[in-house]
Structure 1
């Protein structure tokens, strides 16, 4: 899930990306924040499979459309609507925060397309790193500080979780278990239901038809538990819909792509 530091193809949230080094950033610090304005206008956040058990309690977990789907947590059902963070990025209700959000503004990325080596990079435009008076130093005596070492470790763990997630998705595709999803929700004051499409979900009919040896293997390696976490989480779609209504944030379309 690492992305090359190229401005034309930056991952979600990132406006810029540069490699972190002790020469150029000797006096840089990273400061903490209780606001995430970069998250406020985003309704779908990438997830790793290791997060499914926690995330399923808070969000519907679905998969993006297309040939290379990835798991996402839905914090809202309409584009630009986040029901858990206000417009300034302050958390409205206590909720699980995906690792993808927590790693920002750092990221492991390839500096050389010919090499598989990953380097710790940062978004310098995030407002969270720079030559500040406050915050934790990123380098001490020309060496990565304890804070930077912890940041690197977290990002390495995220990359490992990303590989596990890719293996999970490969298994779903191998057995043709993904189908186009559709959710229809009717408001009490509306005759016409609001229909949400543009995502994928596990086809339960095909899941029931899988060979016994495949299901046994998935039960042993934990993959079946991940599938059920996804399926159980879909019930929360109506909760997110209700949150949007309660917050006056929609729905805004009769038919919408999640």
Structure 2
């Protein structure tokens, strides 16, 4: 069973990647689950710009730090804390689930480093794929051809890649106009020093206001301005996320009242 090249770091959630093959995986099935165990200790999840309108209702949307920034949803304010997923992987409140999460354990990847072609790969360590007994799960292959379930998975992954390209263009525009700054979010709970969160980037509203009118007009027409404001408005949810994890006993110790 050939693994994907290991010289490249594996993406979030994935412990291994292998090319999905009708020879190697002829009897494999995929199954659905209502428990996202791979998500329970993860507080940041990548987003595409197409998801901003829905994601901003549940999560603060920020951007990863350093070069090559990309959008991320904050599902918890502290590393290793997910305020929406319990220890058994159950989602504890109705939310929009990011496509990055729903894609797992599948992924389009370049099997050959020098090739531009993307192939459907899977994490073989996941309990969502394998040789399941009885009628559990949906076959990935019908003989030597992909099954309908496999075709649907491939289509979803292809759509995700297209959304990723749109996201890269959005990020390039932000970088071109130097709109991203190092972010800082402060939560004052009273009775002591506020909790400070850093290590991410956000749009600089002052620079946004200073942009030329023709640029803002173009962004308004192509929808980019709406995406920026979805990001900015979503930051109001920071206190809600913090309160959720404190109520669940997952937050940092609160200062004692005098």
CA distance in 1, matches of 2:251, 2:57: 23
Q: Please provide the CA RMSD for this pair.
A: 1.3
Structure 2: state its 5+ residue gaps: none
Aligned to 1:113: 113
List aligned pairs for 1:71-86, cutoff 5 A: 71-86=71-86
List aligned pairs for 1:201-240, cutoff 5 A: 201-240=202-241
Query: Aligned in 2, Cα 1:146/1:7: closer, same or farther, shift over 3 Å?
Result: farther
Q: Show CA shifts across 1:132-187 (max 9, x none).
A: 12100000121100000000000000000000000000000000000111111111
Query: Aligned in 2, Cα 1:115/1:217: closer, same or farther, shift over 3 Å?
Result: same
Aligned to 1:187: 189
Q: Show CA shifts across 1:114-145 (max 9, x none).
A: 11100000000011111112100000121100
Give the TM-score, by structure 1 length. 0.94
1:7/1:17 contact within 8 Å kept: no
Find the residue that maps to 1:239 and give its secondary structure: helix
1:7/1:15 contact within 8 Å kept: no
1:7/1:16 contact within 8 Å kept: no
Structure 1: state its 5+ residue gaps: none
Aligned to 1:59: 59
Shift of residue 29 of structure 1?
A: 0.3
Aligned to 1:145: 147
Structure 1 segments (4+ residues) deviating >3 Å: none
Shift of residue 218 of structure 1?
A: 0.6
CA distance in 2, matches of 1:154, 1:252: 41
CA distance in 2, matches of 1:251, 1:159: 37
List aligned pairs for 1:126-165, cutoff 5 A: 126-133=126-133, 134-165=136-167
CA distance in 1, matches of 2:223, 2:5: 34
Shift of residue 84 of structure 1?
A: 0.2
Does residue 1:33 correspond to 2:33, yes or no?
A: yes
